[in-house]
Amino acid sequence: MTSPIWHPYAHLKSQAPSPKVVGGEGPRFTLETGESLLDATCSWWCMIHGYRHRRLVEAIQRQADELCHVMLGGLTHESADRLARELVRVTPEGLNHVFFSDSGSVGMEVAMKMAVQYHYLRGKPAKHRMLTLMKAYHGDTAGCMAVCDPEEGMHSLFAGFLPQHYFAPAPTAGFEAGEDEVQADLDALRGVLEAHHEKIGALLMEPLLQAAGGLNMTSPHYLRGARALCDEFDVLLIFDEVATGFGRTGKMFAADHADVTPDIMVLSKGLTGGYLGHAATLATDHVHDAFIGDSELHAFMHGPTFMGNPLACRVALESLAVFEEDDYLGRIQALNDVLREELLDDAELRAHPDVADVRVLGATAVIEVHDAETLEGVAGFARRQGVWLRPFGHWLYTMPAYITSSNDLRRITDVMKHWFNARHVPSTSQ
């Protein structure tokens, strides 16, 4: 019997049956068939410690024994309180207030509502639109779909259902670009702000790495320039660090590369090490204090049932402790060295006729192809070699768990490269 599960992003007519996962250990998970697959994606980028990490499993068990859940409306508890303090400690200076929710999309909805209400409370109710970037991805809920890339994104058919926002071009200067080279990208942002700032409440971006919209990378100078423009036009800066947070770009947060503090910052995916769904929206005193007032409208009207869930908070605390005690930033640097050596420095790969670009940042690498059909069959090809890869669109990428060894990472990059080598021989290209 086919399963009643409706799978995400699946084409129902052509989808292959989904293999059943029965367990996992370190960077691998195991299938019912006995196959063990090295996960090159760490399960949509969140399982940063890999599977069945002792300390994380035990943290959940201990918390489950004490308190599995309690509402955060009018109540608090130790794990939420400690996690909020820890997030304030590790995030950029000035982000002193933490609003919990249950997923990255909802964390972004919270951020956008906060920005709109902030301007309303300061007497600028017209500033209720967002400025977002082409190639952006901020989640799948309605509010988030409206700020995703409207053309490339997965949501174009919903255009009539969504509120209208302002879009600026995606940044074009790469991570290494200097101040001069990002000027054209910043001028494009300025253009939209000059024309529409009276209606714009916040500029949203995935700092340095636009993830699900095509792994587009940009420079820390772009973040600094965006910060200055937001100050000039009285627009809040929102960093969506759902994908970039917790080490993915090589520093704890992408904002750290630029020494920039956004007004609002959203964390999810790696927050709990992937062990439970949760998110945090952080705000500066400046944003928070605008909500201190006498009218009914000063309350922030949002409150997901599972916000501050004790199990999620406890495992997030343990995840952060492991991150720091086991020198994850050092591990990420080692992974980055391998990715650069194996992919960026491979002249043959970069010159391959199917390959448009190869990019590496922190523990992220992507091979972009000219034609998306080039990647058809790559998941099956990888699986036969014991690797789980899940390319999308024009992008074959890896975002491995940080506990992945250099040898295992080379296994992943070898499979990625062999796909292109194999494509020269018609009999093996499938």
Ligand X SMILES: *Cc1c(COP(=O)(O)O)cnc(C)c1O
What per-residue string of b and e applies to 78-88 under the rule 16 or more CB within 10 Å gives b? ebbeebbebbe
**Residue choice 108, 313, 349, 378 for contact with ligand X (CB under 6 A):** 108
**Do residues 103 and 277 make contact, with C-beta atoms less than 8 angstroms apart?**
yes
> Least CB distance from residue 284 to ligand X, whole Å?
20
8 Å CB contact between 88 and 96: yes
Q: How far is the CB of 303 from ligand X (least distance, A)?
A: 17
For ligand X, which stretch binds (CB under 6 A), given 100-108, 177-185, 219-227, 413-421? 100-108
Q: Report the site for ligand X in 238-257 (rule: CB under 6 A).
A: 240, 242-243
Structure tokens at 102: 């249950």
Angle between helix axes 406-422 and 328-339 (nearest 10 degrees) is 30
From residue 414, alpha-carbon distances to 29, 219, 307, 342, 419 in Å are: 19, 28, 41, 8, 9
Residues 257 to 286 in contact with ligand X, rule: CB under 6 A: 268-269
The length of the chain, given as a count of residues: 430
How far is 56 from 416, CA to CA, in rounded Å?
31
Question: How far is residue 200 from each of residues 8, 15, 238, measured CA to CA in Å?
Answer: 33, 41, 12
CB of 74 to ligand X, least distance (A): 26
Give yes or no: 269 in active site: yes
Residue 137 or 323: which CB sits closer to ligand X? 137
Residues in contact with 285: Cβ distance below 8 Å, sequence separation at least 6, in sequence order: 94, 96, 97
- Considering only residues 210 to 239 of the shown chain, the ones binding ligand X according to CB under 6 A are 211-212
The single residue of 102, 149, 185, 269 carrying the catalytic annotation is: 269
| Closest separation in Å from C-beta 309 to ligand X | 14
- Pairing assessment for the beta strands 200-205 and 129-133 based on DSSP bridges: parallel
Is 137 an active-site residue? yes
**Residue among 137, 222, 328, 402 flagged as catalytic:** 137
133 vs 355, beta carbon nearer ligand X:
133
Residue 254 or residue 367: which is nearer to ligand X going by CB?
254
- Rounded least distance, CB 111 to ligand X, Å: 10
* Cβ closest to ligand X, residue 239 vs residue 328: 239
In 10 A of CB 340, how many CB atoms? 15
Q: In what order do the strands lie in the sheet with 200-205?
A: 95-101, 279-284, 264-267, 236-240, 200-205, 129-133, 166-168
Provide the 3-class DSSP secondary structure of residue 378: helix
Residue 117 beta carbon to ligand X: minimum distance, rounded to whole angstroms? 21
Mask: binding to ligand X, 192-211, rule CB under 6 A, as x and -? Answer: --------------x----x
Q: Which of 28, 77, 138, 257 binds ligand X (CB under 6 A)?
A: 138
The residue from 149, 240, 263, 346 that is catalytic is 240
- Copy the structure tokens of residue 383: 């699986």
Distance between alpha carbon 410 and the CA centroid of its chain, in Å? 24
* Interaction between residue 105 and ligand X (CB under 6 A): yes
Residue closer to ligand X, measured from CB, 265 or 412: 265
Token pair listed for 35: 């196959």
Residue whose CB is less far from ligand X, 27 or 104: 104
How many binding residues for ligand X (CB under 6 A)?
Answer: 15
Q: Does 177 bind ligand X (CB under 6 A)?
A: no
Nearest CB to ligand X, comparing residues 109 and 263: 109
Q: Name the minimum Å distance from CB 236 to ligand X.
A: 17
3-state secondary structure of 80: helix
So which residues are the catalytic ones?
9, 137, 240, 269
Interacting residue ranges for ligand X, rule: CB under 6 A: 103-105, 108, 137-139, 206, 211-212, 240, 242-243, 268-269
